[in-house]
């Protein structure tokens, strides 16, 4: 039995040819396409600082986890090791758990919890710990399980889309869903249409998944911040801004917070 640290000890192998560009890096483009995680993570930590100060400093932990995902993804695609695969997938799982804990609207909590967020966080942590253990049992299905969580997130987002008349929130939801759809299409395409991409000498769809999912994170973060503010910050006004300039056609979204003294 190969060591969990050994190169190619994982059962998961993506479409890109192995060791084509380096003897040390199994999947060259899949490895270095993670560089965007180290760009957007620190930027969002800086841009969302005022919001984190007023809502929850756990936002910083999410940004750090996002960068950790990039690091572990690089390690996995560089080695295709079993350890790298698990570190990559488990870090994604805990990022999702963190997002649920901070931003899940109380109206979607299980009924037996009422609207008690500390109890909900305990439930999320327990479920995540159990899922972490289960990820060792059938590691080949982990990626599919993680993507299936998106179904529940999409349900929440769709419900909030129907409720709101906020044009900024509706726009962010639309852009986030489109970006996620492009990312998921790239992931599925690499997984199931590999022979086609190899025939046309373009085996880089998983790299494109990395790029799309890394830009989906800032949009998803700001989307959930706006959804959450409706319930948890009723006396604050959140204004969506874009870095580096609001007037640019493409930018990184973030929020500015100001009190508006409205009545609850």
With CA atoms as reference, report the closest residue to 52 among 260, 264, 262, 256.
Answer: 256
Whole domain around residue 160: which residue ranges? 28-258
Note the pLDDT tens digit of each residue in 55-75: 999 999 999 999 999 999 999
1 pLDDT above the threshold of 80: no
Does residue 4 belong to any structural domain of this protein? no
Does residue 9 belong to any structural domain of this protein? no
Does residue 14 belong to any structural domain of this protein? no
- Residues annotated in a binding site for Ca(2+): 13-14, 16, 18, 27
Does residue 222 belong to any structural domain of this protein? yes
Does residue 15 belong to any structural domain of this protein? no
Does residue 6 belong to any structural domain of this protein? no
Note the pLDDT tens digit of each residue in 221-260: 999 999 999 999 988 889 999 999 988 878 999 999 986 4
Half-sphere exposure of 44 (CA within 13 A, CB side): 29
- Residues annotated in a binding site: 13-14, 16, 18, 27, 77, 206, 210
Q: Which two tokens stand for residue 197?
A: 């991409």
Q: Which two tokens stand for residue 101?
A: 């804990």
Does residue 161 belong to any structural domain of this protein? yes
What does the alpha-carbon distance between residue 128 and residue 135 come to, in Å, rounded to a whole number? 10
- Residues annotated in a binding site for Zn(2+): 77, 206, 210
Q: What average pLDDT does the segment 159-166 reach?
A: 94
261 pLDDT above the threshold of 50: no
Residues in the chain: 264
Note the pLDDT tens digit of each residue in 173-214: 999 999 999 999 999 999 999 999 999 999 999 999 999 999
Task: Give how many domains the chain has, as a whole number.
Answer: 1
Does residue 10 belong to any structural domain of this protein? no
Question: How does the average pLDDT of the chain come out, rounded?
Answer: 93
- 139 alpha-carbon distance from chain centroid: 19
Q: Computed from CA positions of residues 231, 224, 66, 98, in that sequence, does the dihedral angle turn out positive or negative? A: positive
Looking up residue 173, the CATH number of its domain turns out to be 1.20.1070
């Amino acid at each position: 039995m190969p060591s969990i640290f050994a190169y190619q000890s994982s059962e998961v192998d993506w479409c890109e040819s192995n060791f084509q560009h380096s003897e040390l890096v199994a999947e060259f483009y899949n490895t270095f396409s993670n560089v965007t995680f180290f760009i957007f993570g620190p930027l969002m930590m800086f841009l969302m600082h005022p919001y984190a100060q007023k809502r929850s400093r756990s936002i910083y932990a999410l940004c750090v986890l996002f960068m950790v995902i990039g690091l572990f993804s690089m390690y996995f695609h560089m080695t295709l090791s079993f350890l790298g695969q698990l570190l990559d997938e488990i870090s994604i799982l805990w990022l999702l758990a963190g997002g649920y804990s901070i931003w899940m609207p109380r109206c979607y909590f299980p009924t037996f919890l009422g609207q008690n967020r500390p109890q909900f966080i305990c439930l999320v942590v327990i479920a995540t710990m159990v899922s972490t253990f289960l990820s060792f049992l059938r590691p080949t299905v982990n990626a599919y399980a993680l993507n299936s969580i998106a179904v529940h997130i999409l349900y929440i987002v769709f419900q909030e889309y129907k409720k709101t008349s906020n044009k900024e929130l509706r726009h962010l939801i639309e852009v986030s869903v489109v970006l996620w759809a492009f990312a998921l299409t790239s992931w599925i395409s690499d997984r199931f249409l590999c022979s086609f991409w190899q025939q046309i000498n373009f085996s880089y769809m998983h790299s494109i998944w990395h790029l799309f999912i890394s830009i989906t994170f800032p949009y998803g973060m700001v989307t959930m911040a706006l959804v959450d503010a409706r319930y948890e910050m009723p006396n604050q006004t959140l204004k969506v801004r874009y870095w580096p300039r609001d007037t640019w056609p493409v930018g990184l979204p973030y929020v500015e917070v100001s009190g508006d003294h409205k009545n609850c």
